[in-house]
Chain A
């Protein structure tokens, strides 16, 4: 155990921006065959991608650590500890950012990888079984994980039977024991997806997707057109673990997913990505903000659907004659200045200047893949399936990495002739504007690629208690 704080912990997001450049990325690489019951199933893996431009193996997968089971569906990941360990009310700065935790969205296991022994080859050291999560917390289908000031918080989509309510449970940051359900009073909250917090305001925010039964076999058109997927944002008292307020954005907006609160703990606002409007197939980004003692929410970005000929569209969309943008992930740079928006339908990554969060300005775009466009990458050797999905921003805000896959059963619906697993890099210009790095294209072979975690931390891995 070191005598000084882990050097990857920073008191404030501003200081974290001066961190050294990342050299490695850890990417969840799920296999679709195992989930879909097809021939040649593989085990899911955690891929290490070399990001050091001076290295001979730059932009290649240098290791793939397989998990021991089939059909887990590795998805998101998070660290056992991060800058939140420096929070003043429960400081424990001498734990290490060492273990990468990967919740498996289908099997409900949580795999714990040690990245310290050999950072290039993480080693599986512990598996938290679904039964432990179910018996201690009553939850199942763990999804997103954040290292908090007093433990590891994990969101879960539902209960072991595949129904709601979804919620949050807490793990001990050293023993990884499941400490139990987080909520004391969940109020009207039932559906669950993402969560994060405003540590300076003792406020937790959560969003809504659907119960496991509503999503595991793919998007259910009847539920979507019946407006049954989530469309609310929930505000919680982080200290008292109580529901405070539900903000409904209207049920024509379906699937309120990724939450990106301002990194600066004094700021009380953040962005939520919404996948689709059943009124016009558009996608949107919403701003929540504090107004006096209450919280408010409003739409600040609308991205319209793109018309497309029916023969380019999957069965699900043929009748509409258009490609929905499908905003499935967003990410905010550590200086709270640029918001990145993944349009997984139309194959576009957008950059918005959110210096004034109430009026985002669209300042950059990159096209790659897409349901109808299939825009190639200079190194992809032809049209690409898949599109910008999980997006990650380097701590200095200069590089963006993103991958192509959403969720195996959904991938099949939107890209029925097969979705290629890949990861690319985008360079950010000083003062705004983005461009695809023509030399960086990581082919995941038979596997798909989901969330990217950068060595030492990134723009969605850490929370800060100081401005």
Chain B
């Protein structure tokens, strides 16, 4: 079975993570407002994306290690179970890493983003895609497409491509939201539009886990 759907799902989850204020666009806007500079908004987003990628990479790395050491049939059950349990945990104890500080360097932002993404289970949320989609090479069309471009989601190159795709989608959506809020909408929208994404997020973790378990 060859399908583009795992790749679309990874990108869509990237967009979803990018939309979440806790994953970084809001911090970027705040830094821009503090420095009175739209460029500062964009400057902040790159390290935020790197930290996010590192956190996702950690989860994928754990999965790869699991694949190498755990019998094939059991792994989907483990990842699904971990996701559901983590989602329930996030519902019951919606906590954040304790972080105080607006005067941040690029390195601080990488660390901050890594902590936030890890604490929210951003990487965990992607694991069912890797488990279910491992037989799906990246789509490849046209005469210039040679055989090797059909990357399997379970190869090192596939992991890297998947993390990059997810992160780019996250970065693009973060940048769009941050710039619209910074230049056009203003922060008053936070008061109306800031839905409790943490609970939606916890729900998404559980859903991803259940899908992983059922399929």
A1 sits at the interface (CB 8 A)? yes
Question: Chain B residues near A10 (CB, 8 Å)?
Answer: 191
B140 sits at the interface (CB 8 A)? no
Interface residues of B in 156-197 (CB under 8 A from A): 187-188, 190-192, 194-196
Return the CB mask of A88-115 against B: 1 if under 8 Å, else 0: 1111111000000000000000000000
Return the CB mask of B24-52 against A: 1 if under 8 Å, else 0: 00110110011010000000000000000
Contact among A5, A202, A265 with B190 in the assembled complex (CB-CB below 8 Å): A5
Q: Would you call A467 and B100 a contact (CB within 8 A)?
A: no
Interface centre among B29, B30, B100 (most CB of A within 10 A): B100
Q: Would you call B101 and A202 a contact (CB within 8 A)?
A: yes
Q: Would you call A88 and B103 a contact (CB within 8 A)?
A: no
A38 sits at the interface (CB 8 A)? no
Q: Would you call A7 and B191 a contact (CB within 8 A)?
A: yes
B97 sits at the interface (CB 8 A)? yes
Return the CB mask of A42-75 against B: 1 if under 8 Å, else 0: 0000000000000000000000000000000000
Alpha-carbon separation in the docked complex, A10 to B191 (Å): 7
Question: Chain A residues near B33 (CB, 8 Å)?
Answer: 266, 466-467
Question: Chain A residues near B103 (CB, 8 Å)?
Answer: 201-202, 239
Question: Chain B residues near A4 (CB, 8 Å)?
Answer: 191-192, 194-196
Q: Would you call B102 and A9 a contact (CB within 8 A)?
A: no
A281 sits at the interface (CB 8 A)? no
Alpha-carbon separation in the docked complex, A5 to B199 (Å): 13
Determine how close the nearest CB of chain B comes to the CB of A467; give it in whole angstroms: 5
Alpha-carbon separation in the docked complex, A308 to B120 (Å): 66
Question: Chain A residues near B192 (CB, 8 Å)?
Answer: 4
Q: Would you call B100 and A148 a contact (CB within 8 A)?
A: yes
Alpha-carbon separation in the docked complex, A4 to B196 (Å): 6
Return the CB mask of B91-131 against A: 1 if under 8 Å, else 0: 00010111111111000000010000000000000000000
Determine how close the nearest CB of chain A comes to the CB of B50; give it in whole angstroms: 17
Provided the pairs A200-B34, A266-B34 are in contact, do residues A86 and B190 lie with their beta carbons within 8 angstroms? yes
B21 sits at the interface (CB 8 A)? yes
Query: Which of chain A's residues has its CB closest to B36's CB?
Result: A266
Determine how close the nearest CB of chain A comes to the CB of B44; give it in whole angstroms: 10
Q: 22 A-B contacts, Cβ less than 8 Å apart?
A: A2-B196, A3-B195, A3-B199, A15-B191, A88-B26, A88-B29, A88-B30, A89-B99, A89-B100, A89-B101, A89-B102, A89-B104, A91-B22, A91-B26, A93-B194, A94-B198, A148-B100, A200-B102, A202-B100, A238-B100, A239-B101, A466-B33
